[in-house]
Structure 1
């Protein structure tokens, strides 16, 4: 996954809805198409390339259905920026500041904050099956000696064809134990993940 050292760099990469949709669709359908309602793997794409219909249950859905974005009418770009800000701010960020930087009213920023924090806290239910794990670093400047100093490490975990988890890791350099809520899961690591605990 690409590293972003600054908000400007991040916003420049995800500079329109098409780029955000393409990125999120690649993550969500990484192991093939599926319906978020019944998990059937045959779906139809509408001509607008924004909606889908399940061939089995016949229900319509969007790329955001069943995710933290819900059926929000906010542009995905604003959600992406809010996620970046909330996961890279070491001292936290107020809803007022979030509203100013994302370009929404404070009430909307508060709603986004709550949605994102809730998504980061998800994981009470144990992941099962094959779970892919990867990490990336957001914000700050690289320390020439260690490379990851001053950056926030963010761990992402995906239950193939199903649930996703994402959360900041505060102490990457000291090799802290990461206690994941995993049931009978097999970890399929991506990249250079070297945490001591990748099992429950």
Structure 2
């Protein structure tokens, strides 16, 4: 009788790692949850890169940060053309297109109206008809001129104020999705204050 050998092998179970990371930005809390078979430290670095990108976007778009491109445009674009990064310029072009598609319901120049109603500082009050009419002189996409060749913006009158609060978090989520795709993350969820949510893949 020939010898008989039985070889038994065991496979080490594949471990699915999960990390969470959070940071405050855009006046809210952003939280990201990533699932992957990669190491935790690698996942953590991806999460931090995404949160850093959100910080960078806020530093470009926030009208409350004096050094942001939007704040600088609000100060100077009625006096001279203001140079913008290509990504910010493209976002403004998109905003103008959305304004047209919504027949004016979406308007990034509505900031002066919000201010005169007290929505920006919490001092809510109903303005007079005269105040509203004077404020409307500074509201409207038609006050914005974008020059594609030089990526500059200018206003045709003083008092125009850009406010990208309606699109900032959504734009940040789109950039986060691009980073997740670059790293081939197949399961993730990211939210900004739970009101803006980005999900990739399915839960583990």
Q: Which has the higher helix share?
A: 2
Larger relative CO (CA 8 A, sep 6+): 1 or 2? 2
TM over 0.5: no
Larger radius of gyration: 2
TM-score normalised by the chain length of structure 1: 0.29
